[in-house]
Amino acid sequence: MSELLQFVITGITVGMIYSLIALGFVLVWKSSGVANLALGQLILLFSWFAYGMLSQAGLPAYIGLPIVIIFSLFLGWVVERIILRPLIAQPILSLITVTLGLSFFLEGLVSFVWPESQATLPRLFPQTPIYIGTAVMGQEYLWAAIIALLLFVLLTLYFKYNKMGIAMRATADDQKAVQACGIPVTKIFSRSWMLACVLAAVSGVLMSSIGSINHGLTSAGLKSFSVVILGGLDSFGGAMIAGPIIGLAENLGGGYLTPLTWPGVREVIPFIIIVLVMFIKPYGLFGEQRIERI
């Protein structure tokens, strides 16, 4: 029984980080219609950058982490300005492929600057484990969940009350109408990329403070795709709900199915969920099915 509780708690907290990554995806997808397949590599890059700041440069966390955030804002701006701005209104195929090219580039960059295959961040959270009933949980899981929730609340408020946030939602609805209202659409695009990169940076630091920094982090990006597919591509709430579901399915499936099937089943469960969603409800739980006209 304690095993089950353990799986549930770990699954939900890890799933919330997936939600955070997925939010970054949904943000960019909604505002600019770009599918960012380089998410996993962005997470990897930011985790290594955090490692570079905190461990290699030896900065304390209250200086190092803001630098990571500033770097992520800058990178988001650069990526949008240089790579995606020239491709506005190109077919979706080009937009997907260019982010794949970006993912190659980032992966090369990471192994160029940090040739180590593995590293750990200095501890950001207290170490004492927490006992919930019979289950034991590292405190960093709890912190990760709290930070994820906090960011979700902040984002919701941002989209509801901030002028820029409202403009972003409007852009998601109709780009041309927004442009006609005098809101610079390109600025919205660049804001959404910057925000998405910050989310990737935060979730990267959270993931690598739970585990270690290695190439496995890119698979977190892939898993977040199953989150957005399950939740619906254009739904923030969907991403937030689907994340823990994917995390739960992954952990429970990994825990109970591995003896029945082959090892590594944990890694494919998110993909099996993608295929199932595609067959049953392709636009996800909360996704909007757009009616097309010729």
Instruction: By CB under 8 A, name the binding residues for other proteins.
Output: 29, 35, 37, 83, 86-87, 90, 92-94, 96-98, 100-115, 222, 225-226, 229, 233, 262-265, 267-268, 270-272, 274-275, 278-279, 282-283, 292-294
Q: How far is the CB of 98 from other proteins (least distance, A)?
A: 5
Count Cβ atoms below 10 Å from residue 92 Cβ, excluding itself.
10
Q: How far is the CB of 171 from other proteins (least distance, A)?
A: 18
Q: How far is the CB of 189 from other proteins (least distance, A)?
A: 15
Is the Cβ of residue 41 or residue 208 nearer to other proteins in the bound state? Answer: 41
Is the Cβ of residue 48 or residue 141 nearer to other proteins in the bound state? Answer: 48
Is the Cβ of residue 102 or residue 206 nearer to other proteins in the bound state? Answer: 102
- In whole angstroms, give the CA distance from residue 11 to residue 252: 8
Is the Cβ of residue 20 or residue 274 nearer to other proteins in the bound state? Answer: 274
How many CA atoms lie within 13 Å of 201's alpha carbon, on the beta-carbon side? 23
Q: How far is the CB of 224 from other proteins (least distance, A)?
A: 11
Please state the φ and ψ torsions of residue 26, each to the nearest 5 degrees. Answer: -60, -40
Q: How far is the CB of 259 from other proteins (least distance, A)?
A: 14
Is the Cβ of residue 96 or residue 124 nearer to other proteins in the bound state? Answer: 96
Query: DSSP readout, 180-229?
Result: HTT--HHHHHHHHHHHHHHHHHHHHHHHHHHS-BSTTHHHHHHHHHHHHH
Question: Long-range contacts made by residues 80-84, C-beta under 8 angstroms, separation at least 24?
Answer: 80/189, 80/190, 80/193, 80/194, 81/190, 84/32, 84/34, 84/189, 84/193
Q: Which residues of 20-30 are buried (b: 16+ CB within 10 A; e: fewer)?
A: bbbbbbbbbbb
Q: Which two tokens stand for residue 181?
A: 């209202």
Is the Cβ of residue 77 or residue 105 nearer to other proteins in the bound state? Answer: 105
Please state the φ and ψ torsions of residue 20, each to the nearest 5 degrees. Answer: -60, -45
- In whole angstroms, give the CA distance from residue 151 to residue 17: 11
Give me the amino acid identity at 46. F
Is the Cβ of residue 169 or residue 266 nearer to other proteins in the bound state? Answer: 266
Q: Are 73 and 197 in contact (CB under 8 A)?
A: yes
Is the Cβ of residue 62 or residue 112 nearer to other proteins in the bound state? Answer: 112
Q: How far is the CB of 275 from other proteins (least distance, A)?
A: 5
Q: How far is the CB of 240 from other proteins (least distance, A)?
A: 19
Nearest to 76 by CA among 24, 139, 111, 118: 24
- In whole angstroms, give the CA distance from residue 51 to residue 116: 11
Q: How far is the CB of 273 from other proteins (least distance, A)?
A: 8
